[in-house]
A and B are shown apart, each in its own frame.
Chain A
Amino acid sequence: AQSVTQLDSQVPVFEEAPVELRCNYSSSVSVYLFWYVQYPNQGLQLLLKYLSGSTLVKGINGFEAEFNKSQTSFHLRKPSVHISDTAEYFCAVTNRDDKIIFGKGTRLHILP
């Protein structure tokens, strides 16, 4: 069975500082990996996805993530955050034949 663990429920970071949101997964087969962002009272939007190929994936709003198969991780990074990045971020995994599994989310708080 697949699972996703987001190691931090909340992450505070100062504006213009770098941030990393951690995600680890478990699966016995090849996976597709996703990061979604949710702003208050809205649905989830796709930030980026890893399907195959290059392990460094670039997404919208300056975010990127690196797929590390040996460590079963898919951490999300941004070199310089903005106040508008305040949101909740969800990591998700699927093996295509099974339904997608979400982590519990990480709230990113941007401090002025």
Chain B
Amino acid sequence: DGGITQSPKYLFRKEGQNVTLSCEQNLNHDAMYWYRQDPGQGLRLIYYSQIVNDFQKGDIAEGYSVSREKKESFPLTVTSAQKNPTAFYLCAGAAANTGELFFGEGSRLTVL
């Protein structure tokens, strides 16, 4: 089955620990995105990548890092510098001709 695959779906971490969320795609999308979602705040863009080995900061990049070493993969690391990391994280790939986004199922991170 094709699409955007995020893992894990649920993740718990202690304060001060880094954690990496996985995002894999088999849709051949050049562009990929990471969003953070908090209740009542819609989707906020963390990082995006339009091509392999290149990525740009979104609106709330502080405390996060990404890599794009291959087209299929765009992992997000939530570092200990992120002050309020508990949230729902969404990864998406974009169709080149329309910009339509295809989303994964999301990863819910809870910091204990």
Contact = CB atoms under 8 A, between A and B. Distances in A.
B42 A104 contact: yes
Contact of B103 (A41, A45, A49, A104): A45
B33 to A, nearest CB: 7
Given A32-B99, A41-B106, A99 B40 contact: no
A99 B42 contact: no
B48 interface: yes
Interface residues of B, number: 24
B51 interface: no
Interface string A12-55: 00000000000000000000101010000111111001010000
B98 A49 contact: yes
Contacts of B100: 32, 34, 46, 49
B43 A102 contact: yes
Interface residues on A, range: 20 to 34
**B interface majority secondary structure:** strand
Contacts of A41: 88, 106, 108
B66 interface: no
Interface of B: 4, 6, 33, 40-43, 45, 48, 88, 90, 92, 94, 97-106, 108
Interface of A: 9, 32, 34, 36, 41-46, 49, 51, 90, 92, 94, 96, 99-100, 102-105
